[in-house]
């Protein structure tokens, strides 16, 4: 049975999506279908330090969010996670499947692999894991931004 | 606010489809009553959307979710459609806020709506747990519900 009781935000792990350099930074639970997240993303991108992205799709509010998060995660499996996130937040008007294929093409992704990965169970599980950690940390809306200094210090990965 | 261990006051209200629903219909099952200020307000929308995302996990624990506000059932129907949720919403519309008052959740004039309150009713119809937000602008994360159910 799934335990979604209160728990601290998990430390930054090996398979977290991390951009930037340094020992300081922020961690954000974000929804790729959320307009407030898109507006905040511009500011987060520009600040110094590390930026850790965790998935928090609220499908009932933004029906295309699950597909967008799957697309970003699938792009990440080909090393282009943040490029896909940037692309999705930069243009929120074109998010149907043909638009996602176009974005994948523009990023130089292997389309066949992208298609298979974005529909895979492992990608769904990866996104759900982030979402559930946000629920346990008490996230009630997006974007939810945390100071990542301690989380980076306690990290399990080597940068 | 109603106290843990009290018998939960029974009620009959209309759901989003105009059908009458009583608390006693849930006898033998656990139900989480979600009192909230009003349909189409941003915070209420966020609250019900987040709960919708973990509804399967809440139901896995044998608990059904029921939202209650002073809105009409027509508004509930539109609100559910807008949010894309399937949580039952009950209309505490006439006499306005009567059920919220019975549970000690009603905020009198000039507010005139229920505070954001959670009441877990057990299989025997007794209050098993309650949570009242410090103010209507804040809502408890879903983790708080799971803490109560653990």
Residue A62 pLDDT > 50: yes
Q: Closest approach of chain A CAs to the CA of B141, in angstroms? A: 5
Mind listing the domains of chain A with CATH numbers? 24-151 (3.40.30.10)
CA dihedral sign of residues B141, B145, B148, B149:
negative
**Does the beta-carbon distance from A4 to B146 stay under 8 Å?**
yes
Contact residues for A121 (Cβ-Cβ < 8 A; gap 6+): none
Joined tokens for residue A70 = 């799957």
Calculate the CA dihedral of residues A94, A98, A101, A105 and round it to 10 degrees: -80
A118-122, B122-126, B133-137: the lowest-pLDDT one: B133-137
> Least CB-CB distance to A5: which of B50, B85, B146?
B146
Strand residue runs (E) in chain A: 17-19, 25-30, 50-55, 144-147
- State phi, psi for A23 to the nearest 5 degrees: -95, -5
**Chain A contact present for B62, CB below 8 A:** no
Contact residues for A98 (Cβ-Cβ < 8 A; gap 6+): none
Does the beta-carbon distance from B150 to A5 stay under 8 Å?
Answer: yes
- Out of B84, B142, B147, name the one closest to residue A63 (CB): B84
Q: Which residues contact B138 (CB under 8 A, 6 or more apart)?
A: B43, B116
CA distances from B144 to A97, A109, B51, B147 (A): 36, 41, 11, 5
Structural domains of chain B, with CATH: 12-149 (3.40.30.10)
Average pLDDT value for chain A: 92
Of B87, B96, B103, whose CA–CA distance to B10 is shortest?
A: B103
Q: How confident is the model at residue A152 (pLDDT cuts 50, 70, 90)?
A: low
Give the residue among B95, B148, B96, B88 at the shortest CA–CA distance from B118.
B148
Mean pLDDT of A26-38: 96
Residues A77-106: pLDDT tens digits?
999 999 999 999 999 999 999 999 999 999
- Residue B23: DSSP 8-state: G
Each residue of A105-137: pLDDT tens digit? 999 999 999 999 999 999 999 999 999 999 999
Pair A40, A33: CB distance under 8 Å? no
**CB of B50 within 8 A of CB of B141?**
yes
Q: Does A36 touch chain B (CB under 8 A)?
A: no
In the annotation, is B44 catalytic? yes
Q: CA–CA separation, A41 vs A54, rounded Å?
A: 13
DSSP 8-state assignment for residue B37: S
| B137 shares contact with chain A (CB less than 8 Å) | no
Question: Where does B32-132 have alpha helices with state H?
Answer: 42-53, 55-60, 73-83, 98-102
Judge whether residue B19 has pLDDT over 90.
yes
């Amino acid at each position: 049975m799934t335990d979604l009781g209160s728990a601290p935000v998990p430390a930054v792990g090996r398979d977290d999506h991390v951009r930037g350099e340094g020992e300081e930074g922020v961690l954000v639970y974000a929804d790729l279908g959320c307009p407030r997240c898109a507006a905040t993303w511009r500011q987060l991108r520009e600040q110094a330090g590390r930026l850790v992205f965790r998935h928090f799709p609220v499908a009932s509010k933004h029906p295309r969010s699950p597909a967008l998060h799957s697309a970003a995660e699938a792009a990440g499996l080909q090393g282009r996670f943040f490029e896909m996130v940037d692309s999705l937040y930069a243009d929120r008007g074109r998010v149907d499947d043909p638009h996602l294929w176009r974005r994948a093409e523009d990023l130089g992704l292997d389309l066949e692999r992208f298609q298979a990965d974005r529909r895979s169970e492992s990608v769904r599980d990866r996104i759900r894991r982030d979402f559930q950690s946000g629920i346990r940390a008490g996230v009630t809306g997006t974007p939810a931004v945390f100071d990542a200094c301690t989380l980076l210090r306690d990290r399990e990965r080597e940068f | 606010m109603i106290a843990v261990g009290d018998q939960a006051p029974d009620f009959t209200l209309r759901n989003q489809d105009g059908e009458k629903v009583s608390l006693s219909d849930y006898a033998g099952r656990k139900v989480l009553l979600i009192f909230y200020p009003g349909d189409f307000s941003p915070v209420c929308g966020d609250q019900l959307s987040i709960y919708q995302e973990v509804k399967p996990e809440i139901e896995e624990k044998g608990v059904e979710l029921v939202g209650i506000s002073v809105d009409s059932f027509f508004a509930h129907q539109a609100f559910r459609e807008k949010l894309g949720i399937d949580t039952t919403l009950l209309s505490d519309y006439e006499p306005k806020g009567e059920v919220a008052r019975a549970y000690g959740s009603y905020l009198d004039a000039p507010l005139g709506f229920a505070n954001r309150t959670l009441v877990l009713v057990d299989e025997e119809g007794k209050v098993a747990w309650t949570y009242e937000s410090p103010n209507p602008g804040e809502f408890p994360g879903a983790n708080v519900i799971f803490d109560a159910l653990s």
